[in-house]
Structure 1
Amino acid sequence: HDLYFVAFDLLHLNGHDLRDLPLEDRREILVGMIPTGGRIQFSQALQGDVKSIFHLIDQAGLEGMVSKRRDSKYRGGPSTNWLKAKCYAVGEFELLGIEREAGKPAFALMGEIGTRKYVGSAFINSSREIRERLWKRVQEHAGPAPKGMKRPATQWVKPGLIGRVKHLRGEEDLRHASLQDFREED
């Protein structure tokens, strides 16, 4: 695989703390340090309408984008000086089981259709109607845990329930996922 490191900010240089400099000054120093054509690349700023840029990033199948104020100084932790906008995809996965613990949100454990290989969990934040229909189906389709899966707070289901899951792009396993709906396999 071809791996590249894409640099977008510089916080320290030769023992000097650069975090109090405005972002555009830190980036000017950074771009001068990166040779062209190598595996380390500089993340160019995109100019234009934010909604249009995000639309292009979403259409390209990328995970998202980060926006920063040009004049901002670097501060750790939450800030209004930067924003990460995430792109999501929707896919179908086999429902392996529902994990429910008192005082915690419920999660649907999802697997690849056909193989039942676990790919991650999805938060169940669907409508009340969908949740009630889901609990009923889970009770009707109760089954053994897939091979190698041990999670004590999980109600396992037999193969045949397919979930539509909205999830963050960019990884093989589900991230920031939510169960949107489900159906019985055809």
Structure 2
Amino acid sequence: MGRLPSYRPMLAQLGPLPPPAQHDLWSAEMKWDGVRGLAYAEAGALRLMSRNGRDVTLAYPELYPMAAALGGRDVVLDGEIVAFDDAGRLSFGALAPRMHQRNPAKVAELVRAVPVTYMIFDVLHVDDRSVVRLPYDERRELLEGLVTPGFRWQLPVAFGGDPRAALEASRALGLEGVVVKRRDSPYRPGRRSADWTKVKNFSHLEVVVGGWKPGAGRRSGRIGSLLLGGHDSGGRLVYVGHVGTGFTDAMLTALREELAPLERPGSPFAVPVPREFARDARWVEPRLVGEVRYAEVTGDGRLRHPSWRGLRPDLSPGEVRAPGASLGRAASEGA
């Protein structure tokens, strides 16, 4: 058999759970917060390709034995490469040092310190046959017959029935959410489709606006993103991230009017904002409080995937604490 054909991963759309009347048409899987990877197992050797088509095989040598554990079959698998923190929790921050490292000595050191696991959730090709046109249920059955879970690769469970139970389980486990997949749908390489819908869990946090960056394209001449902060246990305003989504046009107009009289020449943050976010920033007096929802807090105290919810005029800036600050108000629990 010749070289396996190349594929691009199918992508999910963000959206809600399907309505109860359609629950039997869908299957739910946990959403793993890692990096996407297609695994090409051919002649007992493994090749890993990133979502954008880059060869990342050298970064994850602990996954190499997976190719020899497929019963001699040549296959293309789809999955997520994940890592866990010292407490055994899924952590994108723990994975970050692995993602761009290619130096063999440093990779070997990281394998010992932060080993990865490959969460396999689909199969695209088996021997000389593409299976992307098969419905999800048939591909899942095929996958379960092909893959025997190993020390560094797993075949996570797919949940039938009411996907709300899967979403609740993901929340209890501290995971990012679920992906619901139509059971009769084919795999659509390189396409984003509502046949796969990601439903995320978010937390809420109050933040202080310390600046903003001008927008581009459709937002040219308007606010592109807000630079956000919170107070640490010493009372200093520290940068916690930037948010550029969740705004309506009316919100953007109102924010520009609120921020205009607060402009100041320098940053209000106690520690310099990263250069890529400070460039072209318009700094303001830290008087406006808002609320965002977010997926998680990274190890350096930054918000991952924040989305703007609105201003909180009922709160004063001094009440707002950065994630992990030991004093003051806690983050909102779903307000």
Q: Normalising by the residue count of structure 1, what TM-score does the alignment of the two structures yield?
A: 0.77
Report the Cα offset of residue 54 of structure 1: 2.2
Rounded to whole Å, the distance in 2 between the matches of 1:28 and 1:84 is: 22
Rounded to whole Å, the distance in 2 between the matches of 1:79 and 1:129 is: 29
> Secondary structure, in 3 states, of the residue corresponding to 1:144?
coil
User: Once the two structures are superposed, what CA deviation does each residue of 1:16-62 show, in whole Å capped at 9, x if it has no partner?
Assistant: 32102222222222223333352211121112212343233334432
Rounded to whole Å, the distance in 2 between the matches of 1:3 and 1:181 is: 40
Return structure 1 stretches of 4+ with deviation > 6 angstroms: none
2:316 is matched with 184
1:1-186 equivalences in 2 (<5 Å): 1=114, 3-76=116-189, 77-101=191-215, 103-104=218-219, 106=223, 107-114=225-232, 116-123=238-245, 125=247, 128=250, 132=254, 135-137=257-259, 139-140=261-262, 142-145=264-267, 146=269, 147=272, 148-149=274-275, 150-152=278-280, 154-159=281-286, 161-167=288-294, 169-170=295-296, 172=298, 173-182=303-312, 183-186=315-318
The structure in which a higher percent of residues are helix is: 2
Rounded to whole Å, the distance in 1 between the matches of 2:168 and 2:257 is: 36
Report the Cα offset of residue 89 of structure 1: 1.4
Rounded to whole Å, the distance in 2 between the matches of 1:156 and 1:62 is: 35
Q: 5+ residue gaps in structure 1?
A: none
Whether the aligned pair in 2 keeps the contact of 1:6 and 1:42 (CA below 8 Å) is yes
Report the Cα offset of residue 66 of structure 1: 0.9
Whether the aligned pair in 2 keeps the contact of 1:122 and 1:174 (CA below 8 Å) is no
2:106 is matched with none
Q: 5+ residue gaps in structure 2?
A: 1-113, 319-335
- Deviates further, 77-86 or 120-129: 120-129
Q: Normalising by the residue count of structure 2, what TM-score does the alignment of the two structures yield?
A: 0.46
* Letter paired with 1:142: R
Whether the aligned pair in 1 keeps the contact of 2:171 and 2:177 (CA below 8 Å) is yes
* Letter paired with 1:85: V
Rounded to whole Å, the distance in 2 between the matches of 1:127 and 1:23 is: 39
- Deviates further, 36-45 or 94-103: 94-103
* Letter paired with 1:163: G
> Secondary structure, in 3 states, of the residue corresponding to 1:123?
coil
Rounded to whole Å, the distance in 1 between the matches of 2:159 and 2:246 is: 36
**Aligned-pair identity (%):** 24
Q: Give me the CA root mean square deviation.
A: 3.1
Report the Cα offset of residue 9 of structure 1: 0.6
Q: 1:7 to 1:170 in 2, by over 3 A?
A: farther
Whether the aligned pair in 1 keeps the contact of 2:262 and 2:285 (CA below 8 Å) is no
2:70 is matched with none
